[in-house]
Amino acid sequence: MSLNDWIRNTKQRYNEHGIRRATTRSSIEFLVGGGRRLGKRVNFGTPVWERDWEVLVILDACRYDLMTEVAPEWDCLPSVTPTYSAASASYEWLQRHTQSRYADEMAETMLIAANAWTRDDCVRAADWAALDEIWKHSWSDAEGTVLPRPVTDSAIHHWRRRTDDAERMIVWYLQPHGPFIDADWSEGFESDQIGVDAGGSKNVWNLYRDGVVSRTEIWRAYRDNLEYVLEDVAVLLDNLDADVAITADHANCLGEWGIYGHPPWVPAPVLKRVPWMRLTATDEHTYDPAYEPPVSQTVSDDQVDERLAALGYT
């Protein structure tokens, strides 16, 4: 965004919302813009390909401090250590992890993904041992997101039936990313509302930024969404034999650096600091996944844009 565009947007916000809100939003926009310019030149964080794991579980947008608060309550989870992601947003994470130098790693890895950013040109089925884009066939219109169970079902199904070429698997859950399933003020999107004002009043982090919900309320809902997905992670860990790592693609800012949410290419430490947990899972065969290979289908670009917008991406 050019300086002239920023000034014009600021004036428009002042006319529509008053000086206080205009100043807040334009200041955040300025800080994010500066952070992105810096982040595209100076990056830090460890690509997951450089770590040891057979199955990598990604909990989308999970902060390290959130996980340290929740993990001790779950017997299936090991101790939590911090690491720094190579990205501050999902599609940046994908771009950084699908570069040509990682071709060999991708070729031996199955990708089970709830996140619709796999539609990006950097993700091609031919590059992976297997690719199941859960958001294409198991999107929940009622919740305006992808729920955890279809991800769990696909992951267990594919890992139990893996071929010799598939030495690794990435299991990408969408929670604790919003919408927050059990929060009354984060209702998600009906099928005819997907994409409507998703970057504004329906974005959970904007609600916090604008004072609609308190810090206590948003942290409680964030935590509940993490616990919601951990119910399925527990099922997953009881039903595969593998060395497992659990992490996140990025975190969220709650006002640190003047930023809310997770804009891409922003090198804020709190935004890139994510949990890292290692454990050995054993398949106890306590769950038989209700999975049927999806019928090949085409999802239009407009549908993808709507589903990303429902999650706050504009």
User: Please, which residues bridge with residue 244 across strands?
Assistant: 55, 279
- CATH number, domain with residue 299: 3.40.720
How far apart are the C-alpha atoms of 167 and 306, rounded to whole Å?
34
Least Cα distance to 176 among 313, 78, 310, 58 occurs for 58
- Looking at residue 179, what DSSP letter applies? S
Residues 55 and 38 in one domain: no
Could you give the CA distance from residue 13 to residue 22 in angstroms, rounded to a whole number?
Answer: 5
d(CA 219, CA 268): 19
Q: Are residues 23 and 62 part of one domain?
A: no
Look at residue 120 in the predicted model and tell me its pLDDT. Answer: 80
- Cα–Cα distance between 284 and 235 in angstroms, integer? 10
Helix axis angle, 3-17 relative to 19-39, nearest 10°?
150
Alpha-carbon distance 93 to 87, whole Å?
5
- If asked whether residues 30 and 128 sit together in one domain, one would say no
DSSP sequence for 226-253: HHHHHHHHHHHHTS--EEEEEE-S---E
* C-alpha span between 74 and 248 (Å, rounded): 18
Q: What is the pLDDT of residue 203?
A: 82
Phi, psi of 115 (to 5 degrees): -80, 125
Q: Within 13 A of 193's CA, how many CA atoms are on the CB side?
A: 16
Which residues does 72 contact at the CB level (< 8 Å), separation at least 6? Answer: none
Q: Give the mean pLDDT per block of 10 residues along the chain (314 residues).
A: 48 54 52 54 87 98 98 97 96 95 97 91 94 93 91 98 94 95 78 41 84 96 98 98 98 92 92 98 97 67 61 58
Which three-class secondary structure state does DSSP give residue 168? Answer: strand
Residues 133 and 38 in one domain: no
Name the β-bridge partners of 253: 261
Predicted TM-score (pTM) of the model is: 0.83
Both 2 and 125 in one domain: the answer is no
Whether residues 18 and 72 share a domain: the answer is no
CA proximity to 237, closest of 143, 298, 156, 165: 156
Domain that holds residue 247: 51-310
Same structural domain for residues 15 and 134? Answer: no
- Please check whether residues 11 and 141 belong to one and the same domain: no
CA distances from 257 to 43, 102, 186, 197, 268 (A): 17, 32, 25, 25, 7
- Please tell me the predicted confidence (pLDDT) of residue 5: 53
Start-to-end CA distance of the chain, whole Å, equals 15
Same domain, 105 and 253: yes
Count CB neighbours of 5 within 10 A: 10
Q: In this structure, are 59 and 24 located in the same domain?
A: no
Count: domains in the chain: 2
Residues 10 and 76 in one domain: no
| In a shared domain, residues 6 and 90 | no
Q: What pLDDT, on a 0 to 100 scale, did the predictor assign at position 201?
A: 58
